Every structure is written in structure tokens, then in C-alpha cells.
Chain A
């Protein structure tokens, strides 16, 4: 097969399929922003050092600046534009809005995508670098402010809204837990 420098890919973004031809050099981030007009995902450093470009890829948070678009072919991608339920904000978005978990707003989409994943990762029992005992017998760690901050540390906020962001993540996590509980109880009934 002769070398080729571009490919046609299908990106499944927020439940919608987009087929486009991409220069192999194009990152997922640039494909979103420059090709698909999905500019909610931000470019802060383009080097995986700030987290502003965080999206969910197959349900897992990833930095889209270090992911090539061509390597994203066929994967399920969720951006900040796709986390709300119609007009109803995602609990994480609502908590950021209510508790002022941002200032300039540029890191915010990445923080929100990351926070959604943090809540899921924690619910799945994943330990973190500040989890005292990572052994499975120790059980899942409670989602303390310290745990939230460590897990969110891949998202820089130069405005320094960290205190309010951590509060927002805690509130959204508590809401998610109670929602899940209600669902479980509803199913049991």
C-alpha cells in the first residue's frame, strides 16, 4: 500500500457520526475545533500539560490534543457540548454555574468533562495517589476534598477557581450518588 498522509475517518461525537478526511497530523482537538465547529473543547497548551482539551473517549477522560484524529476513528467521543440533557444541564455543569467554579471559563469545559469522569472513576472504586491504602480489601476511598483535588489535578485553572471547583464536584458527586440510590430503590420497588 502506498504511503498516504490523510485518511477518511468517522468520528462518533455526542452520538452523531461525522465522516471527514483528515490530515494525519490533525489532532482530535483540532478536528473538533477547526473542522467540526465544536469549539467548546479548548486548546490551552496543545501538549497534554493543562487539561483544557479534556473529552471523554469511549467513556474515559482523555486529552484530545495528544490524540490523533485518525487514531480516533470509530471511537465514541463526548465533548462538553454533549453532556447536558437537552436544556437540562448536567449536575456537574449546574454545580459549576451555581457555585462559580470558574472565572474566565477557558479551562471550564475540560474541568467539567474531567469532573464527570472523576465521579464515575470514584464510583468504580478506583484509588488515587492520595488514597491511603490502595489494596482492594481496604475498600473504596471516600470522596474527600483531598481525593477530589488530586483526581482533578490534571486540569489547571490559572484564575485559581480551585476551591469553588472542588465544592462543585463534591456537590455533583453527592447528587449523582443520591440519584443512583433512588434509581436502585426504584428498581427494587
Chain B
């Protein structure tokens, strides 16, 4: 018998107040278990073998000698692996990447392609056997040459139209008082999250269980069900704690090969990728080469804008890095053209990586804006205020709150922008030249359909179940606060369970859509529950559960330009005699709708800005022309920012303009922090030195080659 009643204590205000992470104690004590850390009896270990050639055909896989090695249980490869169904379009609207649908044929489309899985009793045995496995190839010449002007470049629609066009561009440029025409490049970049991809697969009572590290259990279940042609109810994917994702943690070779091996051996099999394997198996951000042409009146008002971006994909999967998309939101001109083109090369498949499109696109566009400001003699902040459109430049739709101007005004005030001397290369402090720069930021505020269940428990607490993923965003905590406010109870009476596909379909932790999508479903389920709770009546021992599904609500959302916006500011120091560039401080002011948890939201925004530092100064995966593989694919060869690279980085936000048509009000903070950050830094490097750096990262050798101030 329970004495608890359904009378909720009328409490609100959890949302908007800083709360430490509900799983924080587990994370600081080491108690939080990630995918590769859940113990299983009779566990076997799989180790992937990757191709050493960039293009060709597998001639033979010498399994016999390896099967005789100590502890080796099986070798899976294209000659013996089960056939998968790959002829489908998954929940993210794309077909599966063949890099994940392993061992289906003898073709090798890039260096580091998975060719076999060796399974053994211990990881050490699996590793040694995988290294000993002899695979022979018929090698074919490969092409990895990525550069502007490739004749095989073609526009691709992807998640947005490949090309948008209005007005007469050439006439617009001819009539412009100032024209900027420049090419910008960004290199191949990698997610490099700290936790390597890991999965354990096992059959348990006729059900396939996969313990994984992913950005959405619904997403992974959906792909595995289709590939292995299983009943949806026969597969369960769990992903409790996730050591970072950034777009890379969907379905990859590790889950698929683990399922194959677990099915074959009928025992649990764990496959963990090595750091080096991650560099070819888990996606990356394509390099881009972008030509931006801006034509403006004498006062800096844009007459013509042309942004063409070329990215690279593999020969087996089409993915476009839509860098020109950012101009469709940020700036209008009578003549306006944007194009996202792609070229297919013998390289691994790229994928979504934090702010896909916006991150490299904003670098090119916002750096070009800075060049235009210089030409026009207009302050860079003022130039952006003058070119702030009131409707979507391409869509013509109204903005659901566009607070770019307010972000710039607040940021400029706090950064001390008014005191800035616009002349480049005139500030020196010891060996360092100093400069400041700014750039705008935007990222779409989308939502994905989700379901949630909320249970009023007999003991007066509430349990929320939703297949959300907390990849470091603080989703578990945010949803606790959202549910608490909706239930009008203290957050400590709410328990949020996530990361389990058995909780029903939900959107992914990606595209800055996670918290927005899940909060919507949780709120709807709470509303339903509150209707069913009778005040004062006892709750039965099994509790009272209400469910929600936002599919119809998401589809019915009024058509608007919905985005987070922001203004980025950076101060840098450059030693042109050594080429060293140091960021001294950064400030980002954002308008991102309702902020659920200021503590974790600030972490997200600052983390994005740290990615901007890393993108501007450090990150570059170098592909070796002769082999087609990466040079130094590890964390010593691929540099991400360290503690010492990150100075005072501040992020703050404005209340923003509320949108009466939006029932959630949350816009997402996962990606906006990186957008514009690299451009602000590059623009500051120009202000420090008088030299434009249009090719990222701004490495010491590039600074040295470019020389010192022209003043």
C-alpha cells in the first residue's frame, strides 16, 4: 500500500537555473560505464583488419594460418560473412554507408577499408592475429586529388538544394563599388571524440542486444534491423554513457561486424576501434574549397553574393558538406547564388561533423565579409548590421527571431570593440602582434519526431523514459529540469532514463536538435499524464504512465526560418618571426531560444568555440598522395587544441525574441559555438599582421611563408 498521492508540489523554475549534471558524480568517480566497459560472461574480442591499398580488389584472405593462432575463434571477411540488405533509406534520409555494411564484396574503395574481423578470446590475441592476417590485393590506380576546378565536380542536393540562384550576378558585380573575390580552403577534419567507437553484441533469448556508444539508439536499431532483416522488436540497442559523438557515432563497422560475429559464435563479441582505425572508419569532415564573391555599394550594402563550395565524398557513398548553405540564411543581395558541389574520390566517406556546412562555410563567408569591410572602410560589426535581412534571403520566409544585430551590439559592448583601431599590423607587445576580429554565427533550429513515456510512481517520484542520448550535452539533466517544470515538482523527484531503444523511437543527439526534440516529447507526455492524474488519488503500485509522440506536431510546425544566431569576437597574438598564433580571449554572444540549464549550455557554447580555435589553428588531416591514406592518423599527428591553446573563452546569451508559433522555445546550443569562430580568429590574425590567411589551419609554416606586416 502506498500513501503517496498524485498531488504535485507546485514548483517551477528548474529550467533556466544552473544544475550540475545528474550523472556528474558517476563521471567524476569513474563509476559511469561506457560501451566497452560493461562486463559480459564468455566475452570474445573482435579486431578489424583494414585495407592497405586505396583502390582495388581483394584477391585472397589467408584465414588458415590465423585460425591456428592461440585463442583465435573466427575470421570474418567478404568470402564468409552473411549478406546484408543495404537497399534502403534510413531514418536520417540517407542510404547506409557501405563502410559500415562490412564484408559484402571484394571491392576496396579507399585506404583503411574494413576487409576482415578477427575474433579471439582476448584482445591481445585478437590484435596479434589481425596484424598477422595476410590479405592480398589487386591494386588499381587511385585518385585522391582534391582541388577547385575539377571537371567532375557536380552539385548535390543532400539535406538542402544543391544550388539556389536569383538575380543577375554579373550585372550585380559590375554595378558594385567594391568587389571581393577570393578562394578559401578548409582541410579534412576529424571528430576525434575521446571515446573510441565500441560495441558489444549478443543474442539473449532470441533477441539481439547491442551495447553501444552512439548518438541515437533508435537510429542504430533502425539500421541494424534493416541490414540484418530482423523484426524491429527483436533488436535492442543500449547506449548509457557516450564519450562524445560530434556526428560520427551512428552505425559503423564495429556494430555490424560485432553482430555478425556474435551471430556466428553465439556468444557476446565486443569490437572496439583503435584510434588509428577511427580515422578511416568513422567519417570525417570533407575538405572544402570555397570561392566567395561579394559585390557591394560604397557603403557596404551587398548587391551581389556568390558562394560556391566544393567538397569531397567517397566513391561508395554520397555526402555533401553544404558550406554554401550559410549564405542562404545570413545575407541577402538582389543577385544571390549559392552552390554545394561535390567530387567523388578514392577516400573514406565523410559525414556530419559539428556544424556540417556552417563551420567551414562561415569561415569562408565571414572572412570574405571582413575583407569587404576593409575595402569599404566600414567597421566589420557595422557592415553586418547593414546587411541584416528581415526575411530568409532564399526562402523569403520570416525569421522566428533573428537577433544577429542584438548579439553584435551586446558583444561589441562587452568586448570593447568601440576602442578598436581598424588599421592592421600596428599593435605590438614584445614579440607579439595583436589583433581582434569578429564574425557572425547561425545554425538551424530543427526538431525530429520523438516519443516519450512519463510514469507517476507510487512513491511520489516520476520516471521519464526516452531514447535520448547524452553525448556530453547534458541531455539527461536538461530533460530532468524540463520534466520537473512540466510536472511542477522538484527535479530530485524526477528520474530520467535514456539511451535504450526499448523506450520507443526518438530523434538523435545531432544537428542541435536533441534537447529541442526530446523536451517537446517529454513535455507532451507530462501534459498527458497530468490529465490522467486525479488530484488526491493514490497511485497504483505499477504507477501511471502516459506516452507521447510528436510526429504530427513536428510536421505541423509553421514554416519559418528557425535558427540560433550569434556574434563571435576574438583577440589573437601572432609572432610573425616564428609563425606562432595564440588566441588571447574570445567572447561569443548567442541567441539560442530558451536555455534549459545555463551551466551545461555554457559548456556547450564554449566547447564549440574551443572547436573554432582548434579549427582555425590546429586541425588538419594530411592525406598522402602516394598511398591515399592519412599521414600520422593519431592524436599526435592530428592536432586538436590542448589546455594551453585555450585562453579565457566566454559565452553568454540574450533572451531573444520568442516565437509564438513554437511550442518548445528551445533552439539548441550544440553547434552554434563553432560557427564563425574560426573566421573571427582568422580576421583577428589579419588585424594583427595585415596578412589574410584564407587556408586553414593557420599553421606556423603558413604564417612564416606569408611574411610579416605590410605596414
Given a CB threshold of 8 Å, the question of whether A touches B is answered with yes
Which residues of the partner chain B approach A44 to less than 8 Å between Cβ atoms?
194-196, 275, 635
The residue in chain B whose Cβ has the minimal distance to the Cβ of A97 is: B24
Decide if A106 touches B599 in the complex (CB within 8 Å): no
Q: Verify if A117 is at the interface (C-beta below 8 Å from B).
A: no
Which residues of the partner chain A approach B473 to less than 8 Å between Cβ atoms?
103
Stretch from B103-111, B225-233, B642-650 that touches the partner? B642-650
Among B460-484, those with CB < 8 Å from A are: 471-474
Which residues of the partner chain A approach B275 to less than 8 Å between Cβ atoms?
44-47, 49-50
**In whole angstroms, what is the CA distance A3 to B606 when docked?**
54
Q: Verify if B610 is at the interface (C-beta below 8 Å from A).
A: yes
The residue in chain A whose Cβ has the minimal distance to the Cβ of B71 is: A23
Decide if A104 touches B194 in the complex (CB within 8 Å): yes
The residue in chain B whose Cβ has the minimal distance to the Cβ of A40 is: B30
**In whole angstroms, what is the CA distance A148 to B646 when docked?**
12
Interface centre among A109, A130, A148 (most CB of B within 10 A): A109
Decide if B29 touches A104 in the complex (CB within 8 Å): no
Decide if A158 touches B30 in the complex (CB within 8 Å): no
Decide if B37 touches A39 in the complex (CB within 8 Å): yes
Q: Verify if A60 is at the interface (C-beta below 8 Å from B).
A: no
Which residues of the partner chain B approach A93 to less than 8 Å between Cβ atoms?
28-29
Which residues of the partner chain B approach A103 to less than 8 Å between Cβ atoms?
244, 472-474, 600, 603-604, 607
**In whole angstroms, what is the CA distance A189 to B434 when docked?**
53
Given contacts A44-B195, A46-B275, A47-B634, contact A79 B25 (CB under 8 A): no
Given contacts A45-B275, A100-B603, contact A106 B194 (CB under 8 A): yes
Q: Verify if B264 is at the interface (C-beta below 8 Å from A).
A: no
Which residues of the partner chain A approach B29 to less than 8 Å between Cβ atoms?
40, 80-81, 84, 89, 93
**In whole angstroms, what is the CA distance A43 to B196 when docked?**
8
The residue in chain A whose Cβ has the minimal distance to the Cβ of B477 is: A100
Which residues of the partner chain A approach B644 to less than 8 Å between Cβ atoms?
130, 146, 149-150, 153
Stretch from A30-38, A134-142, A178-186 that touches the partner? A30-38
**In whole angstroms, what is the CA distance A38 to B30 when docked?**
8
Which residues of the partner chain B approach A157 to less than 8 Å between Cβ atoms?
194, 643
Decide if B635 touches A155 in the complex (CB within 8 Å): no
The residue in chain A whose Cβ has the minimal distance to the Cβ of B24 is: A97
Q: B137-181, CB under 8 A of A: which get 1 and which 0?
A: 000000000000000000000000000000000000000000000
Contact of B194 among A107, A153, A162 (CB under 8 A): A107
**In whole angstroms, what is the CA distance A103 to B241 when docked?**
11
Contact of B643 among A25, A33, A97, A155 (CB under 8 A): A155
Decide if B28 touches A159 in the complex (CB within 8 Å): no
Which residues of the partner chain B approach A80 to less than 8 Å between Cβ atoms?
28-30
Which residues of the partner chain A approach B28 to less than 8 Å between Cβ atoms?
80, 89, 93-94, 96-97, 102, 105, 108-109, 112
Q: A19-32, CB under 8 A of B: which get 1 and which 0?
A: 00001011000100
Decide if B195 touches A42 in the complex (CB within 8 Å): yes
The residue in chain B whose Cβ has the minimal distance to the Cβ of A89 is: B28
**In whole angstroms, what is the CA distance A114 to B167 when docked?**
59
The residue in chain B whose Cβ has the minimal distance to the Cβ of A110 is: B194
Which residues of the partner chain B approach A25 to less than 8 Å between Cβ atoms?
124, 127-128
Decide if B27 touches A23 in the complex (CB within 8 Å): no
Which residues of the partner chain A approach B27 to less than 8 Å between Cβ atoms?
102, 105, 108
Given contacts A80-B30, A103-B472, A105-B472, contact A97 B195 (CB under 8 A): no
What class of interface size applies to chain B in its complex with A? 35 or more
The residue in chain A whose Cβ has the minimal distance to the Cβ of B470 is: A104
Min CB distance A93 to B, Å, is 4
Q: Verify if B657 is at the interface (C-beta below 8 Å from A).
A: no
Q: Verify if A163 is at the interface (C-beta below 8 Å from B).
A: yes
Decide if A104 touches B30 in the complex (CB within 8 Å): no
Q: B1-40, CB under 8 A of A: which get 1 and which 0?
A: 0000000000000000000110111111111111011010
Which residues of the partner chain B approach A148 to less than 8 Å between Cβ atoms?
643
Which residues of the partner chain B approach A166 to less than 8 Å between Cβ atoms?
643
The residue in chain A whose Cβ has the minimal distance to the Cβ of B637 is: A49
Decide if A39 touches B603 in the complex (CB within 8 Å): no
Contact of A106 among B244, B274, B614 (CB under 8 A): B244
Q: Verify if A152 is at the interface (C-beta below 8 Å from B).
A: yes
Which residues of the partner chain B approach A49 to less than 8 Å between Cβ atoms?
275, 634-636
Min CB distance B77 to A, Å, is 24
Among B599-658, those with CB < 8 Å from A are: 599-600, 602-604, 606-611, 614, 634-636, 640-644, 646, 648-649
Among B270-296, those with CB < 8 Å from A are: 272, 274-275
Min CB distance B321 to A, Å, is 20
**In whole angstroms, what is the CA distance A52 to B275 when docked?**
13
Interface centre among A108, A146, A148, A158 (most CB of B within 10 A): A158
Q: Verify if A41 is at the interface (C-beta below 8 Å from B).
A: yes
Which residues of the partner chain A approach B128 to less than 8 Å between Cβ atoms?
25
Which residues of the partner chain B approach A155 to less than 8 Å between Cβ atoms?
643
**In whole angstroms, what is the CA distance A1 to B127 when docked?**
27
Decide if B646 touches A45 in the complex (CB within 8 Å): no
Q: Verify if B533 is at the interface (C-beta below 8 Å from A).
A: no
The residue in chain B whose Cβ has the minimal distance to the Cβ of A130 is: B644
Decide if A163 touches B648 in the complex (CB within 8 Å): yes
Among A38-93, those with CB < 8 Å from B are: 38-47, 49-50, 52, 79-81, 84, 89, 93
Q: Verify if A98 is at the interface (C-beta below 8 Å from B).
A: yes
Interface centre among B33, B122, B471, B603 (most CB of A within 10 A): B603
Q: Verify if B316 is at the interface (C-beta below 8 Å from A).
A: no
Q: Verify if B242 is at the interface (C-beta below 8 Å from A).
A: yes
Min CB distance B215 to A, Å, is 11
Given contacts A34-B123, A108-B28, contact A158 B192 (CB under 8 A): yes
Which residues of the partner chain B approach A123 to less than 8 Å between Cβ atoms?
none
Q: Verify if B243 is at the interface (C-beta below 8 Å from A).
A: yes
Decide if A23 touches B192 in the complex (CB within 8 Å): no
Given contacts A45-B275, A156-B635, A159-B607, contact A23 B122 (CB under 8 A): yes
The residue in chain B whose Cβ has the minimal distance to the Cβ of A166 is: B643
Min CB distance A64 to B, Å, is 13
**In whole angstroms, what is the CA distance A156 to B24 when docked?**
19
Which residues of the partner chain B approach A94 to less than 8 Å between Cβ atoms?
28
Q: Verify if A125 is at the interface (C-beta below 8 Å from B).
A: no
Q: Verify if B664 is at the interface (C-beta below 8 Å from A).
A: no
Interface centre among A38, A157, A159, A161 (most CB of B within 10 A): A159
Which residues of the partner chain A approach B32 to less than 8 Å between Cβ atoms?
105
Decide if B606 touches A163 in the complex (CB within 8 Å): yes
Q: Verify if A165 is at the interface (C-beta below 8 Å from B).
A: yes
The residue in chain B whose Cβ has the minimal distance to the Cβ of A22 is: B124
Q: Verify if B193 is at the interface (C-beta below 8 Å from A).
A: yes
Contact of A163 among B196, B242, B646 (CB under 8 A): B646
Contact of A158 among B244, B274, B634, B649 (CB under 8 A): B244
Interface residues of A (CB under 8 A from B): 23, 25-26, 30, 33-34, 37-47, 49-50, 52, 79-81, 84, 89, 93-94, 96-98, 100, 102-109, 112, 130, 146, 148-150, 152-153, 155-166
Subset of 13 A-B contacts with CB under 8 Å: A23-B124, A25-B124, A33-B36, A45-B635, A50-B194, A97-B25, A100-B600, A146-B644, A150-B644, A155-B643, A158-B194, A162-B641, A162-B642
Apart from A39-B37, A47-B636, A104-B194, what are 15 other A-B pairs with CB-CB below 8 Å? A47-B634, A47-B635, A80-B30, A89-B25, A93-B29, A100-B600, A103-B472, A105-B241, A106-B34, A153-B642, A153-B643, A157-B194, A160-B608, A162-B642, A165-B643
CB-CB nearest 9 A-B residue pairs: A40-B30, A106-B243, A160-B610, A104-B472, A103-B472, A105-B27, A160-B607, A39-B37, A80-B30
